[in-house]
């Protein structure tokens, strides 16, 4: 991707922001989304309701947090969680980051130390998802806590706050946010029956290996026939 992809990326960010509302992953202007474009991060603005956000409102910052001018439009203030997004880009191979205030993960965060593996789909997030300690929104300490709890994972739950997922593109990061909320809901349902059985690290490793094998097969298929 290069800078000529920016208009498309701005439109994508607005589209996925609207989905945060319709999928119940945030309300009002809560949560935020960013995409990496080389040395530039495009991120949703602070304090603009998602149902009022326009592509021109999307902000651009450098990897060290300096805001870049927009393309001639008045420039909005980048999301208050920009430090957390930047810390995740610095620490991982993320190409997109989604931060939600979704009710199932927030409820879990207030009562549990992690989201355990009660369904094998959690391997798409790297395994059981940790709950990072509570730190005030928008702080560098929250960014550090999120990065620490992300180790080996593509998702983290922020205690009494929300969740963050990342991916190789915006679609993957967003799908992971939806999956995380679904897993938290499923765990809550299981708890209503009693103490749920969870999958062992060996069982999760087996799932991850099989998923890799099948993906490899998919990639090989078309090449082998061409
Ligand atoms: Zn937040």
pLDDT tens readout for residues 90-146: 999 999 999 999 999 999 999 999 999 999 999 999 999 999 999 999 999 999 999
Backbone angles phi, psi at 2, to 5 degrees: -135, -175
- Band (221; pLDDT cuts 50, 70, 90): low
The pLDDT value recorded for residue 224 is: 42
Other C-beta atoms closer than 10 Å to the C-beta of 109 total: 22
- Band (74; pLDDT cuts 50, 70, 90): low
Whether residue 200 contacts residue 121, with contact meaning beta carbons closer than 8 Å, is answered with no
Ligand 1 centroid distance, CA of 65 (Å): 18
Q: For the residues of 96-132, what is the DSSP string, one character each?
A: EEEEE--HHHHHHHTT-SEE--SSGGGGGGTSSEEEE
| pLDDT tens-digit series, residues 24-65 | 999 888 889 999 999 999 999 998 988 889 999 999 999 999
The pLDDT value recorded for residue 54 is: 93
- Band (223; pLDDT cuts 50, 70, 90): very low
Ligand 1 centroid distance, CA of 102 (Å): 10
Whether residue 34 contacts residue 41, with contact meaning beta carbons closer than 8 Å, is answered with yes
Beta strand segments in 2-109, E: 32-37, 40-43, 59-62, 67-68, 96-100
Closest to 30 measured CA to CA, from 99, 88, 130, 126: 99
Element (H, E) at 215: helix 201-225
Ligand 1 centroid distance, CA of 26 (Å): 9
- Band (156; pLDDT cuts 50, 70, 90): very high
Which are the catalytic amino acids? 81
Ligand 1 centroid distance, CA of 54 (Å): 20
Residues with CB under 5 A from ligand 1 (ion): 162
């Amino acid at each position: 991707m290069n800078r000529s992809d920016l208009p498309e990326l701005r439109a994508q960010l607005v589209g996925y922001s609207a989905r945060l509302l319709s999928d119940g992953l945030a309300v009002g202007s809560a949560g935020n989304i960013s995409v990496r474009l080389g040395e530039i991060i495009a991120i949703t603005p602070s304090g603009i309701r998602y149902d009022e956000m326009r592509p021109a409102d999307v902000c651009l910052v450098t990897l060290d947090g300096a805001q870049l001018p927009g393309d001639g439009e008045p420039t909005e203030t980048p999301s208050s969680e920009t430090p957390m997004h930047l810390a995740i880009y610095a620490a991982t191979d993320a190409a997109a980051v989604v931060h939600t205030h979704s009710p199932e993960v927030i409820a879990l965060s207030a009562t549990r130390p992690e989201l355990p593996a009660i369904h094998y789909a959690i391997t798409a997030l790297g395994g059981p998802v940790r709950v990072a300690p509570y730190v005030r929104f928008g702080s560098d300490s929250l960014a550090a806590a999120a990065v620490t709890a992300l180790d080996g994972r593509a998702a983290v739950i922020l205690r009494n706050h929300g969740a963050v997922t990342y991916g190789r593109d915006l679609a993957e990061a967003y799908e992971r946010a939806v999956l995380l909320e679904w897993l938290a809901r499923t765990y809550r349902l299981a708890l209503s029956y009693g103490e749920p059985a969870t999958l062992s690290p060996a069982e999760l490793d087996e799932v991850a290996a099989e998923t890799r094998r099948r993906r490899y097969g998919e990639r090989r298929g078309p090449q082998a026939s061409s």
